[in-house]
Amino acid sequence: MMILGLCLSAFLIGRPNGENDQQSKKGSEVSFAEDLFPVIKKYCAACHSQEADHPSGLFMETYEDVMGEGRHGKAVIPGNAGKSNLYQKLLPAPPFGRVMPPSRRIKLTPEEIELFRRWIDQGAKNN
Ligand code: HEC
Protein backbone atom coordinates (compact mmCIF):
# COMPACT_ATOMS: atom_id res chain seq x y z
CA MET A 1 0.00 0.00 0.00
CA MET A 2 2.88 2.29 0.94
CA ILE A 3 4.62 1.53 -2.33
CA LEU A 4 1.47 2.09 -4.33
CA GLY A 5 1.03 5.45 -2.64
CA LEU A 6 4.58 6.47 -3.46
CA CYS A 7 4.19 5.49 -7.10
CA LEU A 8 0.95 7.37 -7.33
CA SER A 9 2.36 10.56 -5.88
CA ALA A 10 5.44 10.32 -8.12
CA PHE A 11 3.05 10.02 -11.04
CA LEU A 12 0.99 13.01 -9.97
CA ILE A 13 4.00 15.20 -9.21
CA GLY A 14 5.67 14.12 -12.42
CA ARG A 15 2.82 15.36 -14.58
CA PRO A 16 3.61 18.44 -16.57
CA ASN A 17 1.48 21.33 -15.41
CA GLY A 18 3.44 24.47 -16.16
CA GLU A 19 5.76 25.88 -18.78
CA ASN A 20 8.70 25.88 -16.39
CA ASP A 21 8.16 22.34 -15.33
CA GLN A 22 8.04 21.17 -18.93
CA GLN A 23 11.09 23.16 -19.96
CA SER A 24 13.30 22.01 -17.15
CA LYS A 25 12.37 18.34 -17.19
CA LYS A 26 12.03 17.57 -20.82
CA GLY A 27 14.61 19.79 -22.45
CA SER A 28 14.09 20.95 -25.98
CA GLU A 29 11.01 20.13 -28.02
CA VAL A 30 11.16 17.03 -30.21
CA SER A 31 10.11 17.58 -33.82
CA PHE A 32 8.06 14.81 -35.39
CA ALA A 33 9.32 15.51 -38.91
CA GLU A 34 12.96 16.15 -38.09
CA ASP A 35 13.71 13.98 -35.07
CA LEU A 36 11.22 11.17 -34.69
CA PHE A 37 10.07 10.31 -38.20
CA PRO A 38 13.59 9.42 -39.43
CA VAL A 39 13.82 6.93 -36.55
CA ILE A 40 10.41 5.48 -37.42
CA LYS A 41 11.40 5.18 -41.07
CA LYS A 42 14.64 3.48 -40.16
CA TYR A 43 13.27 0.92 -37.70
CA CYS A 44 9.51 0.58 -38.04
CA ALA A 45 7.94 1.62 -41.33
CA ALA A 46 9.11 -1.35 -43.41
CA CYS A 47 6.90 -3.71 -41.41
CA HIS A 48 4.23 -1.23 -40.35
CA SER A 49 3.16 -0.33 -43.89
CA GLN A 50 0.01 -0.70 -45.96
CA GLU A 51 2.05 -2.60 -48.49
CA ALA A 52 3.18 -5.15 -45.95
CA ASP A 53 -0.50 -5.42 -44.88
CA HIS A 54 0.71 -5.40 -41.33
CA PRO A 55 -1.02 -7.82 -38.90
CA SER A 56 -1.02 -5.30 -36.03
CA GLY A 57 -3.20 -2.97 -38.13
CA LEU A 58 -0.92 -0.07 -37.19
CA PHE A 59 0.78 1.74 -40.03
CA MET A 60 3.62 4.23 -39.66
CA GLU A 61 4.08 5.84 -43.04
CA THR A 62 2.66 9.23 -42.12
CA TYR A 63 1.88 11.27 -39.00
CA GLU A 64 -1.81 10.39 -39.41
CA ASP A 65 -0.94 6.67 -39.54
CA VAL A 66 1.07 6.89 -36.33
CA MET A 67 -1.83 8.66 -34.60
CA GLY A 68 -4.27 6.00 -35.83
CA GLU A 69 -5.41 2.73 -34.31
CA GLY A 70 -3.86 -0.69 -34.34
CA ARG A 71 -5.47 -3.88 -33.10
CA HIS A 72 -4.97 -2.65 -29.56
CA GLY A 73 -6.47 0.77 -30.17
CA LYS A 74 -4.72 4.11 -30.41
CA ALA A 75 -0.95 3.69 -30.25
CA VAL A 76 -0.38 7.27 -29.07
CA ILE A 77 -2.11 8.98 -26.16
CA PRO A 78 -0.82 12.56 -26.49
CA GLY A 79 0.81 13.74 -23.26
CA ASN A 80 0.97 10.25 -21.79
CA ALA A 81 3.81 8.01 -22.97
CA GLY A 82 3.11 5.70 -20.04
CA LYS A 83 -0.22 4.76 -21.62
CA SER A 84 0.96 4.80 -25.24
CA ASN A 85 1.61 1.49 -26.96
CA LEU A 86 3.99 3.19 -29.38
CA TYR A 87 6.37 3.83 -26.47
CA GLN A 88 5.50 0.86 -24.23
CA LYS A 89 6.30 -1.58 -27.05
CA LEU A 90 9.89 -0.31 -27.07
CA LEU A 91 10.51 -1.20 -23.43
CA PRO A 92 11.19 -4.59 -21.89
CA ALA A 93 7.94 -6.36 -20.91
CA PRO A 94 5.50 -4.57 -23.22
CA PRO A 95 1.78 -4.79 -22.33
CA PHE A 96 1.24 -7.40 -25.08
CA GLY A 97 3.21 -9.14 -27.82
CA ARG A 98 6.91 -8.61 -28.41
CA VAL A 99 9.37 -5.78 -27.89
CA MET A 100 9.72 -3.67 -31.04
CA PRO A 101 11.44 -4.07 -33.37
CA PRO A 102 11.02 -7.86 -33.05
CA SER A 103 14.61 -8.72 -33.85
CA ARG A 104 17.52 -9.72 -31.67
CA ARG A 105 20.03 -7.88 -33.79
CA ILE A 106 18.27 -4.58 -34.37
CA LYS A 107 17.89 -2.39 -31.31
CA LEU A 108 17.08 1.25 -30.80
CA THR A 109 19.54 3.25 -28.74
CA PRO A 110 18.32 4.58 -25.37
CA GLU A 111 18.38 8.08 -26.94
CA GLU A 112 16.10 6.97 -29.78
CA ILE A 113 13.66 5.37 -27.33
CA GLU A 114 13.75 8.57 -25.30
CA LEU A 115 12.72 10.55 -28.39
CA PHE A 116 9.46 8.59 -28.55
CA ARG A 117 8.78 9.26 -24.88
CA ARG A 118 9.52 12.97 -25.06
CA TRP A 119 7.57 13.51 -28.27
CA ILE A 120 4.46 11.81 -26.81
CA ASP A 121 4.77 13.56 -23.43
CA GLN A 122 5.13 16.89 -25.26
CA GLY A 123 1.73 16.35 -26.87
CA ALA A 124 2.56 14.22 -29.95
CA LYS A 125 2.42 17.23 -32.23
CA ASN A 126 2.70 17.24 -35.99
CA ASN A 127 5.67 19.58 -35.79
C1 HEC B 1 10.02 -7.06 -38.47
C2 HEC B 1 8.72 -6.38 -38.50
C3 HEC B 1 8.46 -5.28 -37.48
C4 HEC B 1 9.22 -4.14 -37.24
C5 HEC B 1 10.54 -3.72 -37.90
C6 HEC B 1 8.49 -3.39 -36.24
N7 HEC B 1 7.33 -4.04 -35.89
FE8 HEC B 1 5.90 -3.37 -34.56
N9 HEC B 1 4.85 -5.10 -34.82
C10 HEC B 1 5.24 -6.17 -35.61
C11 HEC B 1 4.32 -7.28 -35.41
C12 HEC B 1 4.40 -8.64 -36.10
C13 HEC B 1 3.35 -6.84 -34.47
C14 HEC B 1 2.16 -7.65 -33.89
C15 HEC B 1 2.62 -8.54 -32.75
C16 HEC B 1 2.98 -7.80 -31.48
O17 HEC B 1 2.20 -6.92 -31.04
O18 HEC B 1 4.03 -8.09 -30.90
C19 HEC B 1 3.71 -5.46 -34.13
C20 HEC B 1 2.97 -4.67 -33.26
C21 HEC B 1 3.29 -3.36 -32.92
C22 HEC B 1 2.48 -2.49 -32.10
C23 HEC B 1 1.12 -2.82 -31.51
C24 HEC B 1 -0.02 -2.26 -32.38
C25 HEC B 1 -1.36 -2.77 -31.93
O26 HEC B 1 -2.28 -1.94 -31.72
O27 HEC B 1 -1.52 -3.98 -31.79
C28 HEC B 1 3.17 -1.31 -31.95
C29 HEC B 1 2.73 -0.08 -31.17
C30 HEC B 1 4.40 -1.45 -32.69
N31 HEC B 1 4.45 -2.70 -33.28
C32 HEC B 1 5.39 -0.48 -32.76
C33 HEC B 1 6.56 -0.62 -33.49
C34 HEC B 1 7.60 0.39 -33.52
C35 HEC B 1 7.55 1.71 -32.77
C36 HEC B 1 8.59 -0.09 -34.34
C37 HEC B 1 9.92 0.57 -34.67
C38 HEC B 1 10.75 0.93 -33.55
C39 HEC B 1 8.17 -1.39 -34.82
N40 HEC B 1 6.94 -1.67 -34.28
C41 HEC B 1 8.91 -2.18 -35.71
C42 HEC B 1 6.30 -6.19 -36.50
C43 HEC B 1 7.29 -5.21 -36.61
Of all helices (H) and strands (E), which one includes residue 100? none
Write out residues with Cβ below 6 Å of ligand 1. 43-44, 46-48, 55-56, 58, 70-72, 75, 85-86, 89, 96-98, 100-102, 108
Separation between Cα atoms, residue 24 and residue 27, nearest integer Å: 6
Label residue 25 by pLDDT band (50, 70, 90).
very low
User: Over 50: is that where the pLDDT of 81 sits?
Assistant: yes
Query: What residue owns the CA closest to ligand 1's atom 39?
Result: 44
Label residue 94 by pLDDT band (50, 70, 90).
very high
Query: How far is CA 109 from each of CA 45, 90, 91, rounded to the nearest angstrom?
Result: 17, 10, 11
Residues 6+ away with beta carbon under 8 Å from 26:
16, 118, 121, 122
- Mean pLDDT, the chain, integer: 86
Q: Is residue 38 part of a domain?
A: yes
Q: Which amino acid is at 54?
A: H
Residues 6+ away with beta carbon under 8 Å from 94:
85, 88, 100
pLDDT of residue 54: 80
Q: Is residue 88 part of a domain?
A: yes
Mutate to test the pocket of ligand 1, among 85, 100, 108 (most ligand atoms within 8 A of CB): 100
100 and 90 in contact (C-beta within 8 Å)? yes
Q: Is residue 106 part of a domain?
A: yes
Number of domains in the chain: 1
pLDDT of residue 17: 46
Q: Is residue 2 part of a domain?
A: no
pLDDT of residue 19: 45
The least confident of 12-16, 53-57, 79-83, 100-104 is: 12-16
pLDDT of residue 3: 55
Q: Is residue 116 part of a domain?
A: yes
Separation between Cα atoms, residue 36 and residue 32, nearest integer Å: 5
Q: Is residue 80 part of a domain?
A: yes
pLDDT of residue 50: 87
Q: Where are the beta strands (DSSP E) in the chain?
A: 69-70, 73-74
Structural domain harbouring 113: 28-121
Q: Is residue 42 part of a domain?
A: yes
Q: Is residue 17 part of a domain?
A: no
**Higher-pLDDT residue of 40, 15:** 40
User: Over 80: is that where the pLDDT of 18 sits?
Assistant: no
Of all helices (H) and strands (E), which one includes residue 35? none
Label residue 1 by pLDDT band (50, 70, 90).
low
